[in-house]
Every structure is written in C-alpha cells, then in structure tokens.
Amino acid sequence: MVETSSSASLIAQANRFMDEIGEPSNEDEVLRNLDELERFKEDMQQSGFSAPFIGSANAKKAEDLGEAEVADLRKQLRKMKDAANAKKFTLNRAMIAIAANRIAVRMLERNMREVLRTLPLGGNYIARLVRHGEHAVHAYSVLLDTLSTAGTELERSVLVTIERQVGGKKVQEKIKLLSEQKIEERVRRAYGKSARVVSTEVRGVQDSLVRSRGVRACVASAYAVLAADKAEREFDAELKKDSRIHAYVEILTKNGMSDLSALEDDDDRYFLLMEQLAAKGLAVKAPEGYALAEGLAEEVDERRKWLKGNAARKASEELSLDLFKYYMSTPARRRESAPLFPSLSGSLSLKQVRMFGQVSRTLGVKDAGSLLLEKMDSEPLSAGIKGDLFGAALFSLRSSRGKKWCAEFFGVGEEELEEARGKVEALLSGGERARKFMGLVKDARGKGGKE
C-alpha cells in the first residue's frame, strides 16, 4: 500500500477542518482555530509531510527489471508521487491558513472587517483567486511585487538544513541564522545533541516590506479578491444597458465564477457553462467545442480588460491607504512589537514609500510618502504626545482634509486631535527643538524623490 492509512486520514481531517473555517466573530474563535491548525501542522511535520519525493532514485534501480516489473514500478511511483503531492499541498495549505489567522487577530483588533472577509483563513488562496478570474490573479501579482519591495540595506543570512529526531523519526528542516559563527554548536544547543547540519547556504538579501512569503500571499490575495469584487460590482452596475452581457455575467455568477478565464477549455465546468450560454443564445457550437456568439466575445474581452486594470488599481490603493494609516498612527516601538501583519517592516526605505504616491490626492497631501518619512524621522521628538495622536495631528496639519475627516480616518476624537495639533504646532513654532525637527523634515522631504 503506497499511502499509510494514518497519513491519508490526517490529510482528510486537516483539509476538512480548513474547508470549514469561516469569517470569525471574535478573537477567541481565531485563537481556537490557530491552536488546531498548529496541531495539524506539527502532526504533519512529524509524519514526514515535508520530506522530498525520491522517486527518481528508485527509477534508476529499474534498469535490470523486466518490462512488466518496470510498468508496475512506474505505476507505484505515480501513486507515491500523488501521495507526496497531497502531503505537501496539505502542509503548505495549513501554513498559509496559520499565517492568515494570525493576520486576522490583528485585523480584528483594528476592526478591519472588510479585508478580514477576504482573507484565505482556510489556506486555499489560489482557488479564491482563480474563481474571480485573471483580473484578480493580476491584482495579486501586482501586490506581491509591492510587498516584496526591498529596503536599502543588504541583509546577510545563512540558510541551514538540519536533520533531527522528532517522535522517533528523522526529520529535515530549514532554519535561517544571521551569522556563520559556530553553526553546528548552535544547532545542537537548540535542537539537541543528535541534531546534525546537512548543508549550509550563505545568502545576501534585501529585507522586503513583508518578510514572510506566506504572509505576503495572504495579504496580496485578500486585497486582490476584495478589489476584484468591487471592480466587478462597479462594472456590472452598468450591465442593464446591455442585456446580452448581463445574461452572460448572470450565468457565470450562478456557477460561482466571475470570468471564463478562470477555467481551462478541457475543464468539465467550462463545457457546462458553455452549454448554459448556448441555451440562452450567447454561445454557438464550433468544430472544437463552443464559441461565444458573434459580437459577445468582443464585449467580454472589453469587460475583462477593464476589470484587469481597475482591480489592480483598486487593490494597490486599498492596501496603500491601510498601510499609510498604520505607519502614520502607530509609534515605532509598537510597529516592532505588534505589526499590522506578521513580519511587516517597522520602518520604510525610500523605495518602499513610493507606493504611497498613488493615494496622495485621496489623502489631500502633496506627497504621502514624504509625509510618512517626515513622521518617522520626527518620532524621537514626539515625547509628551500620545503615540497614535502624534501622526494623526501631523497629518491634519499637512492635509487639506478637514479635522472631522482626519479624526474619522484615524479613529480618534476631534477634541483630542485638536489638542494634539496644538502640541505639534508648538513643536514646529520655534526653539532649538523645533529647529532640529525642521531639519529632520527637510531631510525627509529631500529623500522622498531620490533613490
């Protein structure tokens, strides 16, 4: 038997649990889900779910076998590969689900319900993107690039593959160390005397805006799906003017899709959809399957292009606004201890602040990136002003938006904002401290347009 019953059962249980995770109503619910997900992850790692597939090594041993034996071996190898892929997929899904639920805790604390609804809490973020079609996938790709944007400093690290005993089994893991000093000694001290170093790889990388790949995938997919939903609703509000494309979208929506690009031509659901479209006169039989009715293909393509551009723009703007609010209102120490997303950088490089230029007009400021640099550089001088109010007050002084709008945007009271504004204005008005402050401001604004 290729797959042990215990592994198959663990795969089924883990996927069933993740399928059932819905939008949480409170933090306790998220923490319970996290405990269960961590348990599944530990069980899968102890069962060797992260071990690489070694079928090619077995295939080389088949040279002296007969034709029937070779055919049987290949069949067994295919089954083994399928089993290994199922293990890898389930473990990876659990790790994404863990990242998403950790993000959910922060979003509940900040009442970010809109994005919370589109977080891949069950770990299967790819399925959600595909269901929306290529405009959601494109928006996801754009956001991944943004969240991967590097800082200015080169970070040196060592990727170490270790082998250790877990539950009586040998398990290989990858860990990251920040130096090459006494690697074996440090590994044994942390993982026990039986642990050994299998390989090391020295890397020089620039720190990303979000360091964790899993967190980047969760955040990018959540904002991409949210933006895709909004773009679809905005475009489809005009559909009543065109009954054909309205009927086309209605059929896709009933089947849980938003665009045919989400399906391959040989997918059973593709032909099912095309049959339904044909029944409404929206598709016709073709030599190799179906084709959209004359003229409809052009309208569908126009919709697809519009959605692709607008979903990416909306996703970038939504993410930029949330990050701007976070960096502007959160003190430096809290950004390090409790970031908005796990592994989110506590500071911003000159390259990273460029993403905020697209929301300057919405915020009513000359350059949102320069304003963030100004706020961060001046934080050491903000003693006596409540941390979250310092940035809000500085913003309200720099923005053309009214005080009421600013108070609502940052979630603070108008009276306390007004009081903080007075303190920041006094800080700017004169004296040695103010001159130092203005020097920092000048430097920050000068940095804004340079590499």
User: pLDDT tens, 139-148?
Assistant: 999 999 999 8
| Whole-number pLDDT of residue 339 | 94
Residue 295 near residue 250, CB atoms below 8 Å: no
Calculate mean pLDDT across residues 289-311: 87
| Whole-number pLDDT of residue 2 | 38
Query: pLDDT: is 298 or 440 the higher one?
Result: 298
Cα–Cα distance for residue pair 31/263, rounded to 1 Å: 35
| Whole-number pLDDT of residue 247 | 87
| Whole-number pLDDT of residue 378 | 79
Query: pLDDT: is 81 or 60 the higher one?
Result: 81
Q: How confident is the model at residue 443 (pLDDT cuts 50, 70, 90)?
A: low
Between the two ends of the chain, the Cα-to-Cα distance in Å is: 59
Strand-pair partners of 176? 159
Check whether 3 has a pLDDT greater than 50.
Answer: no
| Whole-number pLDDT of residue 146 | 93
Long-range (24+ apart) CB contacts under 8 A made by 271-280 are 276/251, 277/248, 277/251, 280/247, 280/251
Check whether 255 has a pLDDT greater than 80.
Answer: yes
Calculate mean pLDDT across residues 302-307: 88
Residues 6+ apart with CB under 8 A from 168: none
Closest CA to 195 of 162, 169, 158: 162
Tokens read off for 405 = 């709008």
| Whole-number pLDDT of residue 431 | 46
| Whole-number pLDDT of residue 262 | 65
Query: pLDDT: is 70 or 422 the higher one?
Result: 422
Query: pLDDT: is 292 or 122 the higher one?
Result: 122
With pLDDT > 90 as the criterion, what percentage of the chain qualifies? Answer: 43
| Whole-number pLDDT of residue 449 | 44
Strand-pair partners of 155? 205
Check whether 112 has a pLDDT greater than 90.
Answer: yes
- Give the model confidence (pLDDT) of 180-230 as tens digits: 777 887 777 767 788 888 888 776 555 789 999 999 999 999 999 999 999
Calculate mean pLDDT across residues 338-342: 93
Check whether 119 has a pLDDT greater than 80.
Answer: yes
Cα–Cα distance for residue pair 329/372, rounded to 1 Å: 10
Calculate mean pLDDT across residues 373-379: 84
Q: How confident is the model at residue 73 (pLDDT cuts 50, 70, 90)?
A: low
| Whole-number pLDDT of residue 48 | 85
Check whether 53 has a pLDDT greater than 70.
Answer: no
| Whole-number pLDDT of residue 385 | 83
Residues in the chain: 451
Check whether 436 has a pLDDT greater than 70.
Answer: no
Check whether 303 has a pLDDT greater than 80.
Answer: yes
Q: Across all residues in the chain, what is the average pLDDT?
A: 83
| Whole-number pLDDT of residue 162 | 85
| Whole-number pLDDT of residue 83 | 80
Out of 37-41, 53-57, 146-150, which region has the weakest mean confidence (pLDDT)? 53-57
Enter the CATH code of domain 5-115.
Answer: 1.20.58
Q: How confident is the model at residue 333 (pLDDT cuts 50, 70, 90)?
A: confident
Query: Residue for token digits 């849980």?
Result: 256
Check whether 91 has a pLDDT greater than 90.
Answer: yes
Residue 175 near residue 160, CB atoms below 8 Å: yes
Check whether 42 has a pLDDT greater than 50.
Answer: yes
Check whether 447 has a pLDDT greater than 60.
Answer: no
Cα–Cα distance for residue pair 440/405, rounded to 1 Å: 27
Check whether 7 has a pLDDT greater than 80.
Answer: yes
Check whether 54 has a pLDDT greater than 90.
Answer: no
Three-state helix/strand/coil letters over the chain: CCCCHHHHHHHHHHHHHHHCCCCCCCHHHHHHHHHHHHHHHHHHHHCCCCCCCCHHHHHHHHHHCCHHHHHHHHHHHHHHHHHHHHHHHHHHHHHHHHHHHHHHHHHHHCCCHHHHCCCCCCCCHHHHHHHHCHHHHHHHHHHHHHHCCEEEEEEEEEEEEEEEEECCEEEEEEEEECCCCCHHHHHHHHHCCCCEEEEEEEEEEEEECECCHHHHHHHHHHHHHHHHHHHHHHHHCCHHHCHHHHHHHHHHHHCCCCCHHHCCCCCHHHHHHHHHHHHCCCEEEECCEEEECCCHHHHHHHHHHHHHHHHHHHHHHHHHHHHHHHHHHCCHHHHHHCCCCCCECCCCCCCHHHHHHHHHHHHCCCCHHHHHHHHHHHHHHCCCCCHHHHHHHHHHHHCCCCHHHHHHHHCCCHHHHHHHHHHHHHHHHCHHHHHHHHHHHHHHHHHCCCC
Check whether 441 has a pLDDT greater than 60.
Answer: no
Check whether 254 has a pLDDT greater than 50.
Answer: yes
Query: pLDDT: is 259 or 100 the higher one?
Result: 100
Out of 156-165, 208-217, 234-243, 342-351, which region has the weakest mean confidence (pLDDT)? 234-243
Q: How confident is the model at residue 264 (pLDDT cuts 50, 70, 90)?
A: low
